[in-house]
Structure formats: structure tokens, C-alpha cells
Amino acid sequence: MSNDISKGLFQLVKGLSPSEKRYFRLYVGKEGKAQNKKFLRLFELLDQQSDYSEGHILKQETSFKPSQMSNLKAHLYKRILQSLRSYESGNIRDLKIREMIDHAQILYNRSLYSQCARILQKAKKLAMRHHNFEMLLEIFKWEKLVLSQTVGKGNQKRVNAIIDQVRDVNNRINNINSFSNISVKLHALYLRKGFIRNQQDYDTVTTIFKGEMPEYKEEELSFFEKLHLYNLFVDYYFFIQDFQSGGEYAQKWVDLFDNNDGISDYLDIYLKGLNQLMIAQYKLMRYSDFVANHRRMKSLPSLRGVELDANLHLKLQKYTYSHLFNKYFMMGDFDLGVMLMDKIRNGLEQFIPQLDKHSRLIMYYKIACLYFGNSDFNEAIKWLHKIINTDSEDIREDVHSFARIVNLVSHFELGHMEVIPYYLRSTYRYLSKKDDLQQFQKYILRFIKRLERNMTAQDLVVEFRALRKQLLGLVDSPFEKRAYIYFDIISWLESRIQGRKVAEIIKEKALKTLDDPTTATA
């Protein structure tokens, strides 16, 4: 077994809850087989380790031969999954349906057709209730087989009904596949590039979106068809920076659950929709709605029927942290954000490595901007370097680009004029290589390049004002405006011109812009 798979086994063991571990021991122990004792012993040794070491296992258990380890680990991995399947069979609805279909097949193979039909009816009701169209098709397959083996009054009518149901379910599956295929394509492009940069990006994104969209009537779509459709629209509108339209579809997404319940059944999808809605509200500075939804998000674990598995717990933690930072950005409360960071830093540094590369990158950037907004430029640089020095340059090129720009500005703030030429060249090379050297970036790089060590404070203010005037001319540009999503450089320039902290400028603007922030509390 390869080292990666061995580590996968170790992660699987260490990720089990105490009750799952107890269930596994009972599950394999009741069989009483001699070979089970060996891999149960391996299980215990893995569970005792804090870091995976096969050599240490072989020293502890001399009955294990190195030549046996590969088969032993493969067998243990398989049995843990079987145990988890049995453990979760009463909780995961798809497993319940799958089990019924399996039982129906067993009964069919024994020619017990009436019993088979009864179980298929139960499975069909459950699958229809939970919109599981793929399993419905399999149920219809077995229903047709049962009908072919029985002769009875109304058989033709039942056959025609099944055929109509199959057609309807196939159409719905085709819609879901079409919506999700477009969404996956857009998401893959977004993960690489980030928000659109120019007309060419816009044309590419819009061609994918409109060119592959099937014909549909929204009012005739099922619950899951609507979910996939709204998810697609949110992805598209966010990609092209139309947060108003994206927010409207995110609201429709969340409203589907508010109108149909099902939050506990589809918590993963609901949580994603709520996250997308809050992103739109953050971008549009709708503070009261944002805070209300943040409160709703944090209360999800206490809802009746909600159980968080490891995946959901990680996502909820990620979204909660991310939107907590967004709240501080909206209000300009960078000092409060840094105070929070001081409290949670140890836990956050343990939590971040569990995230996927994209989420990790975004979290680094948010934390860096939090410190930058608090004028703690040394700490901002530390977090920015986690992005700049990463090996994931193929993910979110836009974030990599602006991390370099904020890094450059941070060094300027600290008076590190000796390193400015190096970072200027490095940033220019990166932006050119990624074809991300737009007017916004050119203005900033030229501005920093012109600065000299012996400039007077008055000369600097003149330069700051000139750059602010240039950048304000880009605010309404459909493609240049994306720059202000990543870095509020206008507020930074105004802070330098007025001799105030950037947090004061942002907070002052927030109080004028937000929809009555005094009425909402986190």
C-alpha cells in the first residue's frame, strides 16, 4: 500500500468519533474470526499514534510482518468503511433507499415478486420525498422487471404510468446535469482566474453560461432543479461582479428552504446558499441583513434535527470566521478584528490547514487585510507571504496579484525603500506573466516607482492626490472596478492625504453607506 493510502487509513481512523470507534470494535469483534484480531490490533495501534509511523507499529507488534502490512491495511480500510456504512444506515437517507433497493433485488432473485413490489413502493416514496431522481430510475427499472414477471388486471396501465414517470425523471435529471455542468465549468475558470478582468473574460464566461443553457420554465422545475439553477445564476453573476443579481438568486436559493423546510435534510446545500447570500450582502454593504444572516448561520447547529458531521462542521467554521472578518471590514472595525485574532490565533492556525487550497488562500488574504486595515503592516506582510510563497499559483491568480500589490504598499508604509525596487520588479513580472497588468495596477506601480527617499511630506501628499484622482476615474469601469473588491486603496490614499488611520476613513464611509448599522448586532 502506498504511503499516501497509508496516511489515508491513518486519517480515517483518527477522524472517527468515540461512538464510531466503539461501534467498529463491536462490529468486527462479534464475528470472532482470527484474522479480525490482527486488523483490530492494527486499528488500536493507529488510534494510539499522534503521527503515522509504520516502523513504530512493527516494533510494537512483532507478530506483524512487513510483507503482510499492505494487505492488512487494505483489509482494515475496507472494514472501517463497511462499519461506517452500517453505523450510518439509519441516518443517511440515501443509504436507506439503497438498502431497500438491495432488499428488493434479493426478493426478486427469489421470485418473491409481490414482496419485492411492496419494498419498491416504500423506496419510491422515500426517493420522491427526497428528490433522489437517480435512485428513482433504478427503482423504476426493478418495477418494470417485476411487472414483466406478473400478470394482473391493470398491468398495461401501470406500465404506461412507469414509462411516463421515467420520462419525467429523465428530463429533470437532464436539467440538473445541464445546470451543474455549466456551473462546474464556470467554477473551474473562477478558481483559476478570479473575477473577470476584461472583455475577453466576459465573453468567455457569458458564452459558457448562455451557450449551454437548456430551455426551461422555472415554475415547472422541481426543488433540486431550482437549487442547481439558482446556484448556476449566483456563480455567473458573481463571476461578472454583478452582486445585485447574484444576491437576488442567492435569496431565492435560501427561500426555497424557508418555504419548504428541509434545512436539516440538506444542511450542506442550505449552508452554501446562505454563505452566497451573505457574500452578496457584504459586497453591497447591506449590514443589517448581513448581521441577521450571520446570526442565523451561527444558530444552525442548535436547530431541531440538525447533526453536524466533520465536513459540515468544517464548512460552518470556515463560513463563520470568514463572515466575521467581513463584518469588521464593512464597519472598519479592524482593531476589534485584530483583538479577536489575538484570542483565536492558535485555534485558527490549526484550523486553516484543514481547508482546501482555495479557501486557505482566501483566509490568508482576509487576515492580511485585517492587519493592514489596523496599520499593523509587519503582521500583514507575514500573512501575505503565505500567499506569495505558496505553490498554488494556478488557484485565484487575482488574489495572488493583489497580495503582491498590498505587500508592496505595506513595505512602503514601513519605509522599507531598499526592498521596493525588488518587489516592484517581482510584482510587475507576475502581473505580466498572468496577463493581469491593467490600468489600475499600472497606476499603482508607476506611483510607487516615482517615490523617492528624500521626498518631503508635502511632495508625498501631492503624489497621493494625483494617484487618487487617477484611480477614481476607474471606479465605474466595468472591468477595472474589480480592483476595489480586493483592496480599498482609495481609503488608504485618503488616510495618507489626511494624516489619519485608514480604519478611521473606512469607518467614516461605512456609517454613511451602510443601511443603518446601529440597528443590528452580531
Q: Which residues of the chain have pLDDT under 70?
A: 1-4, 31-36, 89-91, 151-154, 259-261, 392-393, 452-456, 514-522
pLDDT of residue 259: 64
Residue type, 368: A
Task: Output the nine-digit C-alpha cell for 368.
Answer: 492580511
CA 188 distance to own-chain centroid? 13
pLDDT of residue 429: 85
φ, ψ (nearest 5 deg) of residue 451: -65, 140
Q: What is the CA radius of gyration of the chain?
A: 29
Rounded CA-CA distance 74/35 in Å is 13
Q: Which residue has the cell 436539467?
A: 175
User: How does pLDDT run across 75-131, given as a tens digit for each residue?
Assistant: 889 989 988 888 776 667 788 899 899 999 999 999 999 999 999 999 999 998 888
* Residue 141: how many other CB atoms lie within 10 Å: 14
Rounded CA-CA distance 325/352 in Å is 14
Task: Output the nine-digit C-alpha cell for 239.
Answer: 463571476
Query: Where does residue 262 fall: left (phi above 0), alpha (psi -120 to 50 degrees), or beta otherwise?
Result: left
Answer whether CATH 1.20.120 is correct for domain 353-522.
no
391 and 368 in contact (C-beta within 8 Å)?
Answer: no
Rounded CA-CA distance 336/501 in Å is 15
CA 321 distance to own-chain centroid? 13
Instruction: Please name which of 119, 221, 205 lies closest in space to residue 173, comparing C-alpha atoms.
Output: 221
429 and 391 in contact (C-beta within 8 Å)?
Answer: no
Buried b (16+ CB within 10 A) or exposed e, 208-242: bbeeeeeeeeeeebbebbbbbbbbbbbbbbbbbbe
Cα separations in angstroms, 205 against 71, 233, 237, 249, 452: 48, 12, 10, 18, 42
User: What is the residue extent of each domain of the chain?
Assistant: 3-88, 243-331, 353-522
Q: What is the dihedral of CA 505, 507, 512, 517, to 10 degrees?
A: 180
Alpha helices in 374-475 (DSSP H): 377-388, 397-413, 420-433, 439-450, 457-472
Query: If you ran DSSP here, which 8-state letter would residue 213 be given?
Result: P
Instruction: Please name which of 203, 206, 229 lies closest in space to residue 217, comparing C-alpha atoms.
Output: 229
Rounded CA-CA distance 230/273 in Å is 9
Rounded CA-CA distance 449/442 in Å is 10
Instruction: Please name which of 16, 518, 56, 21 lies closest in space to residue 288, comparing C-alpha atoms.
Output: 518
Angle between helices 310-331 and 334-351 (to 10 degrees): 160
3-class DSSP assignment, residue 19: helix
| Count of CA atoms in the C-beta half-sphere (13 A) of 499 | 3
